[in-house]
Amino acid sequence: MSSNPGLTKQIAHDLITVGKVPLVLFVLVLLSALGVVYTTQQTRSVIAANDQLLMERERLDVEWRNQLLEEHALSEHSRVEGMARQDQDMIRPDSKREIIVSQ
């Protein structure tokens, strides 16, 4: 009974001597499958990061629009004139006190 090799030894012997091409193909298929899994994971990570950046851009765009609206509201002529009259006690000069400078 000791002359018969074990099943594992027989399979290893067959793979090394007879099944070199199928073994190489099997290893290449496994490497290809792992490459597909890795590439898919990387792609999903990049897509998730891209979505995050798009949401951040939309948020910043909304904030920019709100800032523009606030700037226009604060720089409105009637508001500036009202603040000048109220806070600085400024008045609009009449035509007699107006000085026009020209070149």
Chunked mean pLDDT (size 10), the chain, 103 residues? 74 81 89 98 98 98 95 81 82 82 85
DSSP per-residue codes, the chain: -TTSPPHHHHHHHHHHHT-HHHHHHHHHHHHHHHHHHHHHHHHHHHHHHHHHHHHHHHHHHHHHHHHHHHHHHHT-HHHHHHHHHHHH------TTT------
What is the model's pLDDT at position 1? 46
Query: How many residues in total does the chain contain?
Result: 103
Q: What are phi and psi of 94, to 5 degrees?
A: -80, 175
User: pTM for the full model?
Assistant: 0.54
What is the model's pLDDT at position 59? 98
What is the model's pLDDT at position 3? 62
The tokens describing 87, both together, are: 């806070």
What is the model's pLDDT at position 2? 53
